[in-house]
Homo-oligomer: A and B are copies of this chain.
């Protein structure tokens, strides 16, 4: 094991706690040979026998008795280096590292393939929910039409609490931090980068195509207000959820991460708090959804140890490296990515305007001149001469048109703040 932080300690605990069951399922003993970590102090709740802990990674990578390297340090470097070295040293790898997989998919999977070694990473997406294996094996007969998921627990918690308790974003964020659901620097979660990493892995499996995170259109949740949650719910029967979306549209791959309004009756809408869940539509199976806790020490450990058991069983049967988890082949014909301007959606627009006569007609005039039809307009507060929010929803429109219209609208003298745009999910 490389990296014995929270997840690593969980893995060690779980291997101990369920030793008999794990060994029965693996069909052999699973021995923790070495644990490399910068920090050599004893772990809370995890007694490691002397000599097990080392601060030299090569004690793990160069040990000929090690069959499986479990990489749990996270981040890009040196994790990438360690994973590649482990594979080249003839070791199978289990990792929870979404960032390195999203960034270096082809290099890592290609190296594993050339070395005839396996790499497993169920815990990299949606914690303990066995999503990747289900997608890869269970749904393999399907052409995947769409993936809609909540794969970031922090943002789901924040938006859920804003809705449930009618609190503002900064309050919910502070609470998430306090409860340990958000990191001290939560920007990767809040800005959607963490979800984009996970989506990149899902897309690589579902569409055999690795999409670099920087090419995934990504939008955060920080501009959403308590009032947006209330309006979405009370006026439209919708909830605002932090979505990761991948779908094929007219031969293009539409991949994006952003909050969106989703009808309350959609299964994704019911995923509250820290829950993660992914909803797939396959051409044969129809809609299936998987849900569970997406974060937490023991959830992640569940997936890591599941991968270790699978590998150990295959090693014992002499078939490891011959049944790679991923049918990995570089894709000679990747689908072009759909630009965000080309997507079509209904939109929720929240304008911040000075409350005076003619404002609504000025805005709707600009929208109309960009071929955008308004489905509803709501102005709740009336304070002549003051800044008030006005919400409009549109019929299906092209995002490029919406954006052009908003550029003009946001330059109108009566518009006092950048307009908030949220996409509205289709009813299906």
Contact = CB atoms under 8 A, between A and B. Distances in A.
A133 B128 contact: no
Given A286-B128, A287-B292, A293-B286, A306 B14 contact: no
Interface in A139-165: 139-143
Interface residues of A, number: 59
A284 B301 contact: yes
Q: Is the interface of A mostly helix, strand, loop or mixed?
A: mixed
A171 interface: no
A306 B140 CA distance: 5
Among A140, A298, A301, the one with the most B-chain Cβ atoms within 10 Å of its Cβ is A140
Contacts of A284: 10, 14, 18, 128, 298-299, 301-302, 305
A313 interface: yes
Given A14-B141, A137-B130, A141-B14, A286 B298 contact: yes
A151 to B, nearest CB: 14
A270 to B, nearest CB: 5
A27 interface: yes
A144 B97 CA distance: 26
16 contacts: A17-B283, A18-B141, A18-B142, A25-B327, A128-B288, A130-B288, A140-B310, A141-B303, A141-B305, A141-B309, A284-B305, A285-B293, A290-B290, A317-B322, A318-B322, A319-B319
Top 7 nearest A-B pairs by Cβ distance? A130-B138, A141-B305, A288-B292, A128-B285, A284-B302, A285-B302, A319-B319
